Amino acid sequence: MSEFLLEAGRQTLQLELQEASRLPDRLGDDFIRAANTIIQCTGKVIVSGMGKSGHIGKKIAATLASTGTPAFFVHPAEALHGDLGMIESRDVLLFISYSGSAKELDLIIPRLQEKAVTLLAMTGKSRSPLALAASAVLDISVEREACPMHLAPTSSTVNTLMMGDALAMAVMQTRGFNEEDFARSHPAGALGARLLNKVHHLMRRDAAIPQVKLTTSIMDAMMELSRTGLGLVAVCDNDAQVKGVFTDGDLRRWLVGGGALTAEVGGAMTRGGITLQANSRAIDAKDILMKRKITAAPVVDDQGKLTGAINLQDFYQAGIL
């Protein structure tokens, strides 16, 4: 039984891969026409299809939407009961039907023609009513389904999915859609956290900022270190310009050298030090800390004034790993 299951699974995959391997050679003028139609669309791309084609169509619409093309899925039956009202002349309809003769098309195609909506077809039958009515036809035909009864859509649904991905990726790259654009469509994901967050989104503010003046005593600077637990204190002049940082290491070195706790912190601090710009990308700021092998830094504005503080834990908590 186990060997039978493995063999059935392998045969299915081999058949689907064999059918899919023919797709690249089918891309030609119709593919270019379909892609250009989507690129030049000033409205939305509506994807539609019945049954398994509809399930794949939902994924294609989602891929288009997440890669810079406004798109959504409309079920053909719902379209005939009111949802056609969502489709305008500036939109494009991508209809998926392997047979190209879904009965819903008899009513949908005339309505699209009345509205002057551009129709794109993804079908396995090049002479079907759908193909003949479309401005461009994407060929997803197969010689055989992987289903041993040649009934369940298998190879054909794989072809549909792959053709949809090919179309979406071609359009995306032509538009110059990049990873930051992608992140804006996925703000809650890991990529959104990495690319959209700025330092000022994550930094500690107001009373949570460890800071002292140049004339503050070592004792008081030590108390500030303890209060905030960030591992450093920003040392500023009277104009809030960061002149250095006072760290746990600076304190230890000062005490080992016999320094007095009543002395001014300006004499014990690390002058200059690393500061981060509030408007810089969080991922870039984290990389600076990692490369310099430090765990925290003051944050300054465009004028160099102290405006916050941040450490590696703040990045990790925001999902920037």
Q: Which tens digit of pLDDT belongs to each residue from 7-61? A: 999 999 999 999 999 999 999 999 999 999 999 999 999 999 999 999 999 999 9
What average pLDDT is seen over the chain? 90
pLDDT at 216 over 90: yes
pLDDT at 145 over 70: yes
Q: Which residues pair with 232 in a beta bridge?
A: 247
Q: Which of 233, 206, 199, 180 is nearest to 318 (CA)?
A: 199
Q: Does the annotation list 186 as a binding residue?
A: no
Q: Which residues pair with 234 in a beta bridge?
A: 211, 245
Q: What is the DSSP letter of 55?
A: H
Q: Which of 186, 161, 175 is nearest to 58 (CA)?
A: 161
**How high is the pLDDT of residue 305?**
92
**How high is the pLDDT of residue 84?**
86
**How high is the pLDDT of residue 221?**
93
Per-residue pLDDT reduced to its tens digit, 236-291:
999 999 999 999 899 999 999 999 999 999 999 989 888 999 998 888 899 999 99
pLDDT at 63 over 90: yes
pLDDT at 228 over 90: no
Q: What is the mean pLDDT of residues 59-79?
A: 92
pLDDT at 188 over 70: no
Q: What is the mean pLDDT of residues 148-155?
A: 89
Q: How confident is the model at residue 192 (pLDDT cuts 50, 70, 90)?
A: low
Q: What is the mean pLDDT of residues 184-207?
A: 73
pLDDT at 198 over 80: yes
**How high is the pLDDT of residue 194?**
62
- The least confident of 114-128, 155-169, 266-280 is 266-280
Q: What is the DSSP letter of 148?
A: T
Q: Is 206 exposed, middle or buried (0-12, 13-18, 19+ CB in 10 A)?
A: exposed
**How high is the pLDDT of residue 184?**
61
Contact 243, 307 (CB under 8 A): no
Beta strands in the chain (DSSP E): 45-49, 71-73, 92-96, 118-123, 136-139, 211-213, 232-236, 242-247, 270-271, 276-277, 296-300, 306-311
**How high is the pLDDT of residue 113?**
92
List strands edge to edge, sheet with 45-49. Answer: 71-73, 45-49, 92-96, 118-123, 136-139
According to the per-residue pLDDT averaged within each range, which of 142-151, 158-167, 223-232 is highest?
Answer: 158-167
CATH 3.40.50.10490 domain residues, the chain: 2-177
pLDDT at 91 over 70: yes
Report in angstroms the alpha-carbon separations of 9 from 17, 57, 132, 147.
Answer: 12, 25, 37, 11
Q: What is the mean pLDDT of residues 81-107?
A: 91
Q: Hey, what are 236's tokens?
A: 């500023």
Contact 37, 120 (CB under 8 A): yes
Residue in the block written with tokens 């298998």: 154
**How high is the pLDDT of residue 308?**
93
Give Cβ neighbours of residue 248 (< 8 Å, ≥ 6 apart): 225, 231, 232
Q: How confident is the model at residue 195 (pLDDT cuts 50, 70, 90)?
A: low
Q: How confident is the model at residue 86 (pLDDT cuts 50, 70, 90)?
A: confident
For 199-317, CATH gives 3.10.580.10
Pick the CATH number of 2-177 from 3.40.50.1980, 3.40.50.10490, 3.40.630.30, 3.40.50.970: 3.40.50.10490
**How high is the pLDDT of residue 189?**
56
Residue in the block written with tokens 């649904």: 157
Q: How confident is the model at residue 79 (pLDDT cuts 50, 70, 90)?
A: confident
Neighbours of 276 (CB within 10 A): 23
Q: How confident is the model at residue 231 (pLDDT cuts 50, 70, 90)?
A: confident
Q: Say which residue, 82 or 289, is predicted with more confidence.
A: 289
**How high is the pLDDT of residue 187?**
54
**How high is the pLDDT of residue 68?**
87
CATH 3.10.580.10 domain residues, the chain: 199-317
